[in-house]
Amino acid sequence: MTQKELLELIKTPGMIDYAALKTPEALALFPETLSQLLGQAEAHFEALLKMSDEDLDYETFIDPFFTNDEILNVLFKAIDSFNSTDSSDQTRKIIADFQPKLVDYYNKVNLSGELYQKLKHIESQPLSAHQKRSLELILRGMEVAGVHLPEEKREVLKKINKQLSELSEAFNNNVIDSKAEFFFETNDESILSEMPEEDKQAAQKEAKQRQSKSAYVFTLSPPSYIAIMRYCNDASVRELFYKANNQVACSGKKDNRPVALKILKLRQEKAALMGFKSYAEYILQERMAPSPEKVLEVLGAVNDRAGKEAENNIEALKQYAKKDDFEAWDLSYYAEKLKKETFHVDDKALKPYFAFGNVVEGLFKMIKTLFDVEMRPVDVPPYAPGAMTFEVYRNDEHIAYYFLDPFTRPEKRPGAWANDIRSGYENSKGEYHLPVVINVCNFPQPTDGKPSLLTHRDVETLFHEFGHAIHVMLSSRNLPNLNGFNTEWDFVEAPSQILENWCWEYEVLSQFATHYQTGEVIPNELVENLKASKNFMSGLFLVRQNEFGFLDYLLHHEPVPETVAELDQTCFEISDRYSPFKKFDGFSMYTAFSHIFAGGYSAGYYSYVWAEILEADLFEKAKELGILSRDFGQKYAEEILAPGSQRPPMDLFVDFTGHEPSIEALFKKHGIVG
Ligand SMILES: [Zn+2]
């Protein structure tokens, strides 16, 4: 393969041939080609800046920007995607070498005062509504980065950003290292008698790897921790794990307390530099939530109602456990037991009804019913074992391409996700490049003569990820930054989460959930059981999520503590106030709260419950119009999905439902009444 051939694979307005892109000879050309495309983008950027103001308009200035960056993006997204699904030394090295250069380029663009002035000039010209919105979003993004600040403030900002990224990394490393120090060895079969075989096997494997003298080793890694909290019948062991998990990186050499304090102070400084009262307020510039007060009001309202339900939940558990001194570490254990006894929900009994092929067929059939969207399989060699390619049609119009990479393999990152490999854009010749979107999952591989059988949780995952995919597919031919995923961050999970609702409905399940051997349709009784178990202990679930939401939000909205001791005290008080359990002395969850100190969720943890309120409310509309009705599908596709970011999501939402998001829908969804 030559570089020219590689570029043709990327530049095509048609399907991107992933199988060809993934060959070793194509991969060998990636580093050089990426560098070259970046060089071109940079040269183009410089040339644009030289244009005189009279020549500037949207078509001559902004369109070429999109086209240029898009080709580079498609190639980078491809390698990024391969690195997630088929990671190798080669893919890792390509990313590690190139990513910093790409980040530098975008920093340069976003912080270019010259570019900002030119865009401001174009903003004053007559523009179409879409162009105006697209430009508004570009300018907003640059302002969030600080482009409009005077030179000396921008220099300070750069220093803060650099420090923040170093501190985040240090925070993360401390969490990993501190967690790794804890492990628990045992030979005592009696305390593990209720634990599923696979969890015990994992603990045996851990023991072997560590050359332990004991048969089992458990750690704080999530599957191991969950296994202990749910199934270990010795309360003192659960207590040990609970306390260790809530005292990660809070002392000694891996102490995250000063790191967290420094991060909060720098974020506060950054917000002040930009003219905001708090970091939470600064973050909201690019969010759907209108103000910190509104976020706190929502968290408070959830807490009031769910808090009462959580108390009922705990009361029920106490009675069941016949234990007066019921503690936080007893929760998962007794909840798991009671759930099993009450609902008899059993993955083993459900799985035969969820053969992978049937599930996909059922999902596509539902999509056709709702949106008149047809998934037509394309007969091309799969780019990975089991991977599938589809052309997506709506009313016989070709609207997108879709890849599905369903099965687990050793080189694949765990979890499931959706990516827009190509956002959809028009090049200078007026050719429209349709969006290409991919869903990746980690379902079990089919074996000889036996299809891949999914759990109901897996089915829900597929529906969720497909919800993201359909958001991209159904985006009308927009300007690239107005498409599907490019929406406010606290809205983007609404279209995915809403689709999960359908896989809990018998009306939907009865259409595809048939036993893979006998062909029998899933019994209604099984589905009813499953549904009943869904809201088990939902008060506790919401309250726990809310405790994290409050901690994150108050830390980023109220004045930052002066000292580590004050920070300790503040965090303890917040957690204690919003938790149904009294926190033990030394409780320090925040020192391992990587979501907000080392991830992208700072002042954003609320978005979990926010998006859930939105989708629950939107689903009320589906129930009103009929969950399999074209009336709903058409309206939802046209008013929520197709516009993408053409208008602010709150406007789309209010026009669609006729009201502002209602928290009642969330409680209804979780079966919390009264
Ligand atoms: Zn999602």
Compute the distance from residue 497 Cα to the ligand 1 centre, in Å.
7
Domain assignment present for 61: yes
Q: How far apart are CA 76 and CA 54, in angstroms?
A: 34
pLDDT in the model for residue 503: 97
In a domain, 453, yes or no: yes
Q: Are residues 504 and 393 in the same domain?
A: yes
Distance 441 CA to ligand 1 centre (A): 12
How far, in Å, from the CA of 308 to the mean position of ligand 1?
Answer: 29
Tell me the β-bridge partners of 450.
447
Identity of the residue numbered 592: A
Give the domain-ending residue among 248, 263, 298: 248
Q: What is the pLDDT of residues 80-94, one digit of tens each?
A: 999 999 999 999 999
Of 419-428, 490-499, 587-596, where does mean pLDDT reach its minimum? 419-428
Q: What is the pLDDT of residue 461?
A: 97
Residue 130 included in any domain: yes
pTM here? 0.92
DSSP-derived secondary structure letter, 478: -
Q: State in Å: Cα 283 to ligand 1 middle.
A: 20
pLDDT classification of 502: cutoffs 50, 70, 90: very high
CATH of the domain at 121: 1.20.1050.40
Q: Which residues does 610 contact at the CB level (< 8 Å), separation at least 6?
A: 288, 289, 295, 298, 490
Count of domains forming the chain: 3
Q: Do residue 141 and residue 199 come from a single domain?
A: no
Whether residue 344 has pLDDT greater than 90: no
Mean pLDDT value of segment 307-326: 94
Are 117 and 41 within one domain? Answer: yes
Looking at the fold, whether 378 and 437 belong to one and the same domain comes out as yes
Rounded distance from Cα 43 to ligand 1 centre (Å): 36
Q: Would residue 558 show up in a list of annotated catalytic residues for this protein? A: no
Q: Active site residue: 465, 500, 612, 615, which one? A: 465
Residues 394, 494 within the same domain: yes
Q: Which residue pairs, CB below 8 angstroms and at least 24 apart, start in 161-170?
A: 161/270, 163/262, 163/266, 164/263, 164/266, 164/267, 164/270, 167/259, 167/262, 167/263, 167/266, 168/263, 168/597, 168/598, 169/598, 170/259
CA angle 269–271–274, rounded 5-degree value: 110
- Report yes or no: 647 and 282 within 8 Å, Cβ to Cβ: no
- Indicate left, alpha or beta for 582 from its phi (over 0: left) and psi (-120 to 50: alpha): beta
Domain of 501, in residue numbers = 352-534
- Ligand 1 center to 467 CA (angstroms): 8
Let me know whether 94 and 201 are in one domain. Answer: no
Q: What is the pLDDT of residues 259-276, one digit of tens each?
A: 999 999 999 999 999 999
47 vs 64, 85, 607, CA distance in Å?
Answer: 11, 37, 40
In 598-647, which ranges are continuous DSSP H helix? 607-625, 630-636
How far apart are the CA of 616 and the centre of ligand 1, in A?
15
- pLDDT one-digit tens code per residue, 140-191: 999 999 999 999 999 999 999 999 999 999 999 999 999 999 999 999 999 9
Domain boundary among 203, 227, 248: 248
* Residue 543 in domain: no
> Does 93 lie in the same domain as 51?
yes
Q: 636: burial class by Cβ within 10 Å (0-12, 13-18, 19+)?
A: buried
